[in-house]
Structure 1
């Protein structure tokens, strides 16, 4: 099993400096997030919690994935292991977009495999980044098999959506930036799909003594199920956020990070994800993916609970008095038309 280290994240930060957009953080209105009724460990016991949003959806390609993709390609270039045929990936989502973008930035060829029924808008976007798009079969598994055959026959460098230390380390650079913008940060809240973003953020957070709250939809819970089972397991995927958080299994690297001190796994209902996403639009005119709204839903869910253990599983998360919390809004590749419709119906 590959274990991510803080040294990996520091190396990634140096490697991608100036190649990605620095994250912007913005405060949530005072009193907007309810505070738990528990004692604060320091002199902030009488203060309300302070919550910020990390606007990572403003990153290149519309998601945090650009960080890992840039680190992955740059690291292989530095090591002399970047083949002339370039990189390849099977993904029509954020990972595919990030891989194509990073390859274009580095002057590298990218070959992206998708099912033939992939949305035309995604295909056009990938081609806009200069990718060679191959439409294969009708299911993702067929596109993945074609991608693997392409790797074996051409020697192309295969990238992965989340299960690679260079990808996760690149994602972890986000926490490094956040902590420089929010002194004395106590907690970072992040949505979890396959676990690349979580593994990177949690590894960096643990190094700095910051709690990580890993949030998943209740019916899309690969990391939470792995923690309960004590091993990586397959789970059913059925959630409004499945397009970005719908991994059937987490990575062993993410499970290792989740078992460390200072990590809490929580679940939220789809209805709360939809409500959090709508609230971001109504109050800030910010349109994010359901996956990004999943992180915020942990704090706005009415049945949020306080942490009671390093790998506690609970419904939502309620900050303590005086607690400084940052919620990562990780992506915005979404169709905003339903937000406008809902807003007009209010």
Structure 2
């Protein structure tokens, strides 16, 4: 493909949205007073993307790939910490395609169960996402299946960028958007949509600072890959295609949150709003609750709550 055809731009995100919109949900944007969720009173909106098909934003990129790329008879193959696998299995089922999904042993049982229920061929092995990726690459070489990368793929970012499109349509007045980062497909797509017109702030677990370390080095580098959100926010590196987009259009400072802060954010979302979210889904909100990101008094904020594929937990205990 030419450089132009693989570019992740505002125009191509809008075109992708028109292509996938009948297959996805336009998820709600909830107005919340900061005081209700343990914050100083402020203008706060929560993008409830955990209500997306498959329980996370990943459905957008999955449908974008399957509707814009040539899928062979062998179907598609995807490596995932869990949510990308769920989304690919779901999209493949709905579009009548074969799917082979590779996940590491740390993947949530709820995510593995969802993949199986969608009828995909599932392979569980290895300790981290990188192990699942290597296994999927061997499968692609042996079968001719089409690989669908969880984050470092233009079509994936174009699909994820439609989250930004919906937020702008529903709340054109926001100043700042907080987004959790794993491999970076989500923030890459959203940052490409906004093109610097809104401050897009990356949030990462301190146990998996892939973007922070890449920004410090000036290029993607290996980072630690652990913590409570390891199944969704802990690849070995930020995506090589993602990185220049984030460098150009996202805020330069990354908000880093601890595992304890993520758990506290999960509890606060449940206690105040009865929202159950997985650790990765609560990470962006954790940056506000913990003070890792401190907004100005008049700042108009939005926070992306991006995933809910977890075993039900009683946060009151």
Q: Gaps (5+ residues) in structure 2?
A: none
Structure 2 partner of 1:8: 12
Check if 1:243 corresponds to 2:219.
no
Say which of 51, 54, 58 aligns to 2:51.
58
Shift of 1:161: 1.1
Retained in 2: the 8 A contact 1:34–1:319?
A: no
CA RMSD of aligned residues (A): 2.3
Aligned runs of 1:207-286 on 2, under 5 Å? 209-261=197-249, 263=251, 264-286=253-275
CA distance in 2, matches of 1:268, 1:135: 29
Q: Does 1:204 align with 2:180?
A: no
Q: What TM-score, normalized to structure 2?
A: 0.90
Query: CA contact under 8 A between 1:23 and 1:178: conserved in structure 2?
Result: no
Cα offset for 1:231? 1.0
CA distance in structure 2 between the partners assigned to 1:118 and 1:300 by the alignment: 26
- Indicate yes or no: 2:294 matched with 1:318: yes
Q: Structure 1's 228 and 108: CA in aligned 2 closer, same or farther, altered over 3 A?
A: same
Judging changes above 3 Å, is the alpha-carbon distance between structure 1 residues 139 and 247 closer, same or farther for their aligned structure 2 residues? closer
Kindly indicate whether residue 316 of structure 2 is the aligned counterpart of residue 343 of structure 1.
yes
Q: Does 1:195 align with 2:184?
A: yes
What is the aligned partner in structure 2 of residue 334 from structure 1?
310
Task: Give the stretch that moved more between structures: 109-118 or 252-261.
Answer: 109-118
Q: Where does structure 1 differ by over 6 angstroms across 4 or more consecutive aligned residues? A: 116-119
User: What SS is found at the alignment partner of 1:88?
Assistant: strand
* 1:1-346 correspondence runs (5 A): 3-32=7-36, 49-76=42-69, 81-91=70-80, 93-114=82-103, 121-135=110-124, 143-206=132-195, 209-261=197-249, 263=251, 264-301=253-290, 304=291, 316-337=292-313, 340=314, 342-344=315-317
Count of residues paired in the alignment: 311
> Which stretch of structure 1 is more off in the superposition, 256-265 or 235-244?
256-265
Q: What secondary structure sits across from 1:213 in the alignment?
A: strand
For 1:215-247, what per-residue CA distance to the aligned partner results, in whole angstroms no more than 9, with x for missing partners?
A: 011221000111111111101123222221011
DSSP-derived class of the 2:161 partner: helix
**What TM-score does the superposition give when structure 1 sets the normalisation length?**
0.83
Distance in 2, Cα, partners of 1:118 & 1:257: 28
Paired residue secondary structure (1:28): strand
- Identify the range of structure 1 (172-181 vs 232-241) with the bigger mean alpha-carbon deviation: 232-241
Judge conservation of contact 1:215–1:294 (CA < 8 Å) in 2: yes
Report Cα offsets for 1:193-224 as digits up to 9, x if no partner. Answer: 010001011111226x1110100112210001
